[in-house]
Amino acid sequence: MFTPIRRFDIKSLLWILFVLLLIFTLLAFFTTHSPRWFIPGFSRTNPETTRMFSLCEQFPRHERINWNYLYYYKDRSSRKSLIWCKVPKAGSTTLTRMFLRLAGARKFNSSDKIHRMLRDFYPKLADKLMQRRMKTTFKFLVVRDPFERILSAYRDKLEDYARDLQFRDGYYYETYGKSMVGTPVDNSTVREPTWTEFVNYLIQTPMKKYDEHWMPITRLCSPCNIHFDAIVRMEKFDEGIKQPLQEVGIDFQIGWAHKTGTSHKDVVDSYFRNLTSSQVHRLYQKYKKDFILFGYSPHKYFYLANSTSGNYSNISTPTVSTG
């Protein structure tokens, strides 16, 4: 015989359904708006890192930490430790040489080989172990104007096939450059991608397929998940790098190990004048998070793209928050 559900049971059932709905709503919210992990800063006295971290609220924070570019060093004398997030084309060769010397390496010449050597001396730690050490370790990274950085990557890796062949056995042409220029009529002919072709590739390609040299820094170092204690800017590298080294008690004279000359204004201008306003706008969307979090402005690049037409009075640029 069918027994009707009592009113008390219906109320209880509705209450349970309400609680479950609330739980699922909260889970959905935190999955979308919160980081998979959050690593606090070891030192919270740096206003630059505090400003940057507050700007992260403008972006969804559901990405996981990228552990692949973190290097842990512990000084034998002071017993203090340091974590560096390695950013290619942002002083990485200079700092790689420094970290190798600190680890006792002495013989290395090729800039490309030393990057492969680095993991031999600094093996990747298990994620949970790195997470524990990060809570009590001074963490830093070096940042650079996003568009200067990708231009430097283009000039170093793709602009000169002979250089790529000499130092990397043609890796960048075979992996990336060939697809940028399309299939030549004569398969024996090698043509380097132009700067415009490289930019079009960046615009059209999903970022998850980018090489590390033009991957946005925010994807390499997860600055909205990790509260870095120092953000060193390439423009003030010599001064800025002193703080991380002093934290560990390292007295090390750093000299530039690799330069492409891309930071010179005339060089940058000459390349960006070859782009249209539309290209620069679309490229900016790819690196918008880097521009905003690290306090760089894209306005000069929009001006350069528009200046080719001589129309300076109606330049449309996105608003960039500087905090």
Rounded Cα distance between 257 and 263, Å, is 15
pLDDT digit string, tens, across residues 241-275? 988 988 888 876 665 555 555 567 889 999 999 99
CA proximity to 133, closest of 60, 183, 71: 71
The pTM is what? 0.79
**Residue spans per domain, the chain:** 47-158+193-307
One-letter amino acid for residue 188 of the chain:
S
Rounded Cα distance between 214 and 203, Å, is 12
Angle at 165 between CA 159 and CA 170, to 5 degrees: 80
Asked if 99 and 71 count as a contact pair (C-beta separation under 8 A), the reply is yes
Cβ neighbours of 137 (radius 10 Å)? 20
* Residues lower than pLDDT 70 in the chain: 1-8, 23-46, 61-62, 109-112, 183-188, 252-263, 307-323
pLDDT digit string, tens, across residues 144-161? 999 999 999 999 999 998
